[in-house]
Each structure stands twice: as structure tokens, then as C-alpha cells.
Structure 1
Amino acid sequence: MSIHSVEWPSQLALHAQVDAGELAAAMAQQVAEAVRVAIGSRGQACLVVSGGRSPAAFFERLAEQTLDWARVTVSLADERWVPPGHPDSNASLVQRHLLRGRAAQARFVGLYQPAESLEAAAQLADAALAGLPPIDVLVLSMGEDGHTASLFPGSPNLESALDPACPRRCLPMQAPSEPRQRLTLTLPMLASARSTLLQLQGEAKLATLRAALAAEDARQIPIRAFLYSPLEIYWCP
């Protein structure tokens, strides 16, 4: 199956790249341009990114872009509830691969909070996010189970997190893989972004995306919640 063999809704813009390097470069250029436009229009820009293994090359390409990084705020779509410096920390991934060189001038708003429980940490993160500027660019990734951010099928808080009227910016979530305890931005917070990109690699994830289009409920395949608004999909084999 190729990306062109699927009937895609008109609101999904598809960008098929040759390989992961081309994908990272193309995404970095589009995100940088959106950041420049935001700074030019509003004097600042807010970029929210995803963690995991996939984004490292994209982060490195983006860090090379000529931007007024001092006017950029960077935050996370989700986080593992582990302290900065832990191998699984998304904040540490961003610090290593994105916030370096000139890009180190950006302000970073993390989600991890030390607390007596995951719920208490989520409440502290929710309060910290109150000071986040409106999101200009959101970069999502997706697992083969259809999760995005830390919106995992079967997580106890998934229904609340996917509720368009959810009053929370951040909720605790349970992942099926280690580390299980996660923090995620909720659908209303994520969907508020002016521009959203989705990074995918491999035929299996393309098949998951196709299944999401056919699914009846976003609780089955959470990425479905983002497929009915303008979305830029960057994919490579």
C-alpha cells in the first residue's frame, strides 16, 4: 500500500518523502516558516512537539533554522512521568536535539512535575500550562496502536482527554508500555493549534492511519480525533 492508494479527506495534506532524512528536512522547513509567520504577526511563537524516538532528526534540522529563537516558546504534547535527565524523558530529548546552538535561546515549558502522585503532577502541569501562549505549531507522532501524544487506547482517562469540552489542559494517562505513567495535553489544548503536522514512517503506520479513518470512535484509535481538521501529514517508507 502506498500513501497515494488511500482515499484521503480533503483536509489532509499529504507529503510523501523518500526517506527519514528528507522527511526531517521538509518538516523543519515548514515548521520554521510557520514560526517566522507567527513571530512576524504576533511578536512571538509557540511550538509544541512530541517525544519518542522518531523526532530526533527533525529536531536537529529545526535547530539549524535561522529563527528569532528568543521569541519562541517550546513545550511538549506529552511526557513520561520521569525526571529530566532520565533516558525516557521527552524534555531531555528536546534539550539534547532541539534546544542547542541558537535554538537554546527558546523558552522551554516542560510537563514533568515532582509530586506525590501522577494526578498531583498533572494538576501542577495544568497550572504551569496556563502561562503557555496560544499554540502556533503542533507536531504530533503516532504509534502503531493509533495513539498520539499520550492518548492511549484503553487508558482510564482517555474519554475525558478526548472530550472537546474537557476543562483540563493536562491529564494523567497510563501507557501499555514502560514507563506506564504519562502526562498528556488534552484534545481541546492540542486542537487549539493554528497549524498541526503529523510525522509518520513505515507502511504499518500508514495502515493504522487508514484504519483510523474507517473507525467509528476516536477512543478505539485516538489519532482519529485529529483527522477531521486541517492536518499536514509527513510520511516516508
Structure 2
Amino acid sequence: MQEKIQWHTLDTADQVAEAVCQRILAAAEEAISEHGSFKLVLAGGSTPEKVYRLLSKADADWGKWFIYYGDERCLSEEHKDRNSVMATRVFLAQVAIPESQIFTMPAEFGPKLAAEFYQQIVADALPFDMVLLGMGEDGHTASLFPGHQHNLDELTHAVYNSPKPPAERVSLSAKALSNTQQLIFIITGAGKKEAVLQWRSGQDLPVATIKPTAPIDIYMDKDAEPG
């Protein structure tokens, strides 16, 4: 698996965001020319937010974009801590992607119902064209946390007892996240150094369970690069 990971280290989080933005726009053009649509899975977090702000100012064939989410927190529909609320505010409300092509996780209904509902949406969408993911300081990605056990055949998981609040979440599975033409991890900040080191040394982290057939591209800033 290790040889299929391509590490890209840039000086700052802003440069990471710019590079990832350009990769997304190029992937969109490629997918639309090949099969008429671009299916993108969004991540939450502060650096993805920078990416989305850049995308909101870009010129793209928005009518052919389809948007999905890697995970969501089980909070009320308009709660500021939801990934969908952040993505809508800084990106989706600024561009002409049809609302019918934005597939929000109904996490306000709780983990079980939301996961069941979203499973069919994911099944209909696969394979994705591009998946964006972050990584937590504990090596988690989406809402796949260390020590949590899930049915590996599921496309979505109901998540309980998250070590980070809120405790209840919905997540795409490693199986679903791996079913993509391109996969990009966005990792910034000194707090990620230890997890990057563990990942590189082959430790059993949730990030290491994402195994697409295509190479994984990891964009990180110098702060996250182990010394």
C-alpha cells in the first residue's frame, strides 16, 4: 500500500488549499469530459474550508457537479458545527450547483436512520470521481475512529461514542470512501505530525483503511511534516 501514496509537502496551509483546489477543478473537467458529471465527496475541517472558499470563486461547469459528504455530526439541520452548514455557507451557496445534486446527510434524524437513508444514495453514486478527506490527531478520518468496530461491507456507518463531540455521527465506510477515481487527504498543522509518522510507519490507523485502486495523494503543510 505504501508505494501507492504520493506525499506532497507545501510551505503553508494556504498553499495546500490552493493546490487541492486546482486538483479538484482539473478532476472535474476530466470527469465531465469522460462521462458528463463530477461526483465529489466533501470533508469537514478548517483547511477544506479554505479549499471551498477558493472553489466558490472559480469558474466551473457547476451544473454537472454532484456533491456528497464523507461524514456528518448528528446535530440540528442548521447547526454551525455541521459539515454541510460550513460547506453551504462558504461554497455551495455561492455557485450554481443544482440543489437536487447536493446530497446532504440527514444526520438530524440520528445515526441509524441517517446511515440507512444515505446508504442508498451512496450505492447509486458509486464510484465517486474524487473523495476529499482530512485526518485527526488520532489518525481518524471522516468519522472513522481508532478502536471503533464496523461492518466492513456497509457503505455507511452509524457512529456512536465518538471521542470528539458530538458523540453521534454518520460516516461513509472505508469501503465507500475507497471506491473513487481520485482520493486526496488534506493534512495541516503541527498537531498532525505524530499521526503522519505513525501512518508512514505502517501503524493500524483509520486513515490506513482507505485503500482505493488509484494512488492516494496527500497534501500537507510543513507544520505537519515529521522532522
For residues 20-169 of structure 1, the aligned pairs below 5 Å read 20-105=13-98, 107-115=101-109, 117-132=110-125, 134-155=127-148, 158-160=149-151, 163=152, 166=153, 168-169=154-155
Matched, 1:201 2:188: yes
Per residue, is there more helix in 1 or in 2?
2
Please say if residues 25 and 61 of structure 1, whose CA atoms lie closer than 8 Å, have aligned partners that are also in contact: yes
- CA deviation digits over 1:167-199, x for unaligned, max 9? x22111131121110100011111001000000
Aligned-partner Cα distance in 1 for 2:108–2:140:
25
TM-score when scaled to structure 1?
0.85
Percent of counterpart pairs with the same letter?
A: 26
Shift of 1:111: 1.2
Task: Extract unaligned runs of 5+ from structure 2.
Answer: none
Separation in 2, partners of 1:144, 1:233: 15
- Partners in 2 of 1:110 and 1:64 — Cα distance? 22
**TM value normalised by structure 2:** 0.88
Deviations 1:53-106 (A, max 9, x none): 331111111222221111000110000011321021111111011213334446
SS in 2 for 1:137: strand
Q: Are the structure 2 counterparts of residues 197 and 82 from structure 1 closer, same or farther at C-alpha, using a change threshold of 3 Å? A: same
1:130 Cα deviation from its structure 2 partner: 3.3
Q: In 1, distance between residues paired with 2:30 and 2:197? A: 32
Corresponding residue number in structure 2 for 1:224: 208
Separation of aligned partners in 1, 2:184 and 2:145: 19
Distance 1:109 1:46 in 2: 11
Count of residues paired in the alignment? 219
Q: 1:190 to 1:29 in 2, by over 3 A?
A: same
> What is the rounded CA distance, in whole Å, between the counterparts of 1:120 and 1:213 in structure 2?
36
8 Å CA contact 1:63, 1:103 repeated in 2: no
- RMSD over aligned Cα atoms: 2.1
